[in-house]
Amino acid sequence: MSKTTSSDRLGQWEDDDSNRPHKKVKYSPTISETNVIEDDADSSTKRNRSIIKAPESDSWVVTRYLGSDSYISAYLAVRKTDGDGDEDKLPNEMVIKSSVLSQSAYLMNEEKFLNCLKSPFIVSCYGHEMTDEENDKKLFNTINEYCPGQSLAKHVRSNEGGLPVDDVKRFASDILFGLKCIHGEEIIHHDIKPENVLLKPANKRIRASGFIAKISGFGNAMEKGWIEDGENWYHRSGTARFMSPELIGEKVLDYGADVWAFGCTVLEMLSGEQVWGEYGELDWDDWVTLVSKSGLAPSIPDYLSEKAKDFLKKCLERDPAKRWSVDSLIKHEFLTDGDDEEEEYEEEDGEAYEEEEDEEEEEDEDDELYDPEVVAYEANLEVEAAFEEEEEEEEEEEEEEGEEAIEIDEEYPKEEDSDEDL
């Protein structure tokens, strides 16, 4: 049975260990790799899971237990249909993350940042609600968007050898536009990794992969204006495997740390293997030596295309001053390569591709300016608009069906290893 830590799992749920390698290496996470944000956290000890009794609310009802990690438990819930008021503003399905009030720093931090970030590529938060436990303790419950596609980490593991390149490009573009929104608000996510990217199902006519990627796991996020002292212990919270050299070694936290972690995430999508996985299990001092002092960067497979390798090198540049920004990466030819886009359109809809090709030829004839960032952004907006339209149609169908009895599954998993990750 593996032990996990708080900041390593929040924002996602799975039915196996989210930190095991995708292939070959047997690995068990330790607190030295992933620190937590509670003020009383001791990085020299491991923390156990605890299941909090399912919260009860007048606005929603819990239907399924999803998993737990340290002080937080997560549940799938549905909106109650027999009432008026704030519950009408909630989605039909939602994820409730619950923690005892005295141990809810992570959830409070996550809610604060999610409330000020609005993007189709960031999970939504619908606020919080206080409830009471039987022992008179107060529970702090955040109400979050439900992404039944689960996490990118599990999606990668289910595709041995890595994801299709076209899917990697789509997910990478989603994550970059999410980071563009985050950095635009002068926020550093501080824990980008596959476990903190959730997949929202989408019509395959909208997305060939069937999913849209959304960034989650904001418990370690920080405002750039807060970062004044490089000795702040909080800079070391996060996941060592995805930390940049300047962060893990010199405790320098800036937007570039998110770009490095994003590069590690793309590398895992392309290779199907855990970044730095060839070095096995490491303690904190080993991670500092490997990532900060060795002068090495994560290994990039030779079989990848030149464009893919160049894209990864721009993300995994050890010198943060030379590392590319999010805005620059959005324009990289790995993501904007027209030939690859044409092949994807042919697979999805031949007629649609021919119409688009004709339009592009007309634009070329008129010598109009081609801005890859604008094209990518508009494409993502079209995807989200189509996805929202589909959701609205589904909600209208559900309302027409009227009220139905809700069966609550009160049976919890018998073993911790069967818990779905937060």
CB atoms within 10 A of CB 385: 12
CATH class of 150-226+235-336: mainly alpha
* Better pLDDT: 16 or 227: 227
Question: Rounded mean pLDDT of 274-288?
Answer: 95
For residue range 213-263, list pLDDT tens digits in order: 999 999 999 998 776 544 444 555 789 999 999 999 988 899 999 999 999
- CA pseudo-torsion sign 239, 241, 244, 245: positive
Residue 388 pLDDT > 90, yes or no? no
Instruction: Indicate the fold that domain 60-145 takes in CATH.
Output: Phosphorylase Kinase; domain 1 (3.30.200)
pTM of the shown model: 0.71
**Per-residue pLDDT band at 378 (split at 50, 70, 90):** low
Would you state the structure tokens that stand for residue 346, as one six-digit string? 């042919």
- The answer to whether 96 and 75 have CB atoms below 8 angstroms apart is yes
Q: Where are the domains of the chain?
A: 60-145, 150-226+235-336
